[in-house]
Amino acid sequence: MKVFLIAGARPNFMKIAPLVRAAGDFPQIGCTIIHTGQHYDYEMSKAFFEDLEIPEPGYYLSAGSGTHAQQTAHIMTSFEDLCMQDKPDLVMVVGDVNSTLACSIVAKKLSIDVAHVEAGLRSFDLTMPEEINRMVTDAISDLFFVTEESAVKNLQQEGKKKERIHLVGHVMIDNLYHQLKLINVNGSEEFSTMRVKKENPDYAFLTLHRPSNVDSRENFIEITLALNEIAKDRPILFPVHPRTRKMMDVHKITLSDRVILLPPLNFKESLYLWKDASIVLTDSGGLQEETTALKVPCVTLRDNTERPITVKMGSNKLAGTRKEGILKTYRLMMSRDRSSFRIPPKWDGKSAKRIWKVILSSC
């Protein structure tokens, strides 16, 4: 069985890694990685593959930058040529980026089955490009692999057949446990952040990159005011996304000296920091889930989340983007007992194997 596994942006690489590793246990599956080039710095994306210990992609489509429409169109035309040439039996897409949308549309128009990993998640916020990508991809997919019960409910309400919806857990958590094991086995001497971690005990960990937060001067300033207040309690380790760095200059953002700015980090080095943080502050979807798996308190700097299970489990809470809301939520999460946090069903590091078993049984 010939499967095309689509990766386009950094979160995709982390999600396909467990699928590639698990595919080795199933000789019936021939799995080819298609790198769309949505993350268009190829040298940087090569580092992701090395860090995640997965092979080089079979094909690189060079999508490059541009508007959402330009990028999606480029991926579609390049991927169509590839599908017509190699004729895969199944196209597997992950997450909710433009590559997910583009490749699923192309596959269906060529009568190739589509499997969507991380299907059914909804923020119900159509101002988010990712929400549109999720909805359209799920509208045409054949198999739905979901991470949590809310996604099952969403898909059923949208009319999807029960037998095509599979609650398998989360491949992102598979990757998390794999990388955590490597850190525990190999130690942390290789990490450039080892010193800053030792010198700043009881720290908070921050990620901030969402356009609605950093492109909006009003939102960015409100978040900054809250961060500077939190920094009075504890240092904040902040690996700065290139987009965020640019907008800090544009908006003339001034952070406390106790907000320690770090360069962008690979997955493993980021995990090395946040796994031991007193609290995580983030606008990332993936980090909401990963902190839930390790029972690390998380404050989400957004008004909504497509991952409500993280809130239900007790480890995550939405704070919005206003100073007072962020501070109130921060204090609440710092007061919670971690032992009361729970981990969602099937977030056990075995999701990728479940996915391949379902696919083989569906052939």
The percentage of the chain sitting over the pLDDT mark of 70, rounded to a whole number, equals 97
Confidence of residue 277 (pLDDT cuts 50, 70, 90): very high
Distance of CA 298 to the CA centre of its chain: 15
Instruction: Give the whole-angstrom CA distance, residue 105 versus residue 77.
Output: 11
State the residue for tokens 């083989």.
Answer: 360
The percentage of the chain sitting over the pLDDT mark of 90, rounded to a whole number, equals 85
> Which amino acid does the sequence have at 248?
M
Domains and CATH numbers, the chain: 2-170+348-362 (3.40.50.2000), 190-340 (3.40.50.2000)
**Which residues participate in catalysis according to the annotation?**
209
pLDDT at 204: 98
Q: Is 195 exposed, middle or buried (0-12, 13-18, 19+ CB in 10 A)?
A: exposed
pLDDT at 44: 54
Could you report how far apart the first and last alpha carbons of the chain are, in Å?
A: 9
Output the average pLDDT for the chain: 94
CB 178 within 8 A of CB 268: no
State the residue for tokens 């996915």.
Answer: 355
pTM of the model: 0.92
**Mean pLDDT of the 218-247 span:** 97
**Mean pLDDT of the 43-65 span:** 77
Name the least confident of 44-58, 120-134, 197-211, 259-273. Answer: 44-58
349: left (phi over 0), alpha (psi -120 to 50) or beta: left
Angle in degrees, CA 283, 287, 291, rounded to 5: 125
Half-sphere exposure of 56 (CA within 13 A, CB side): 6
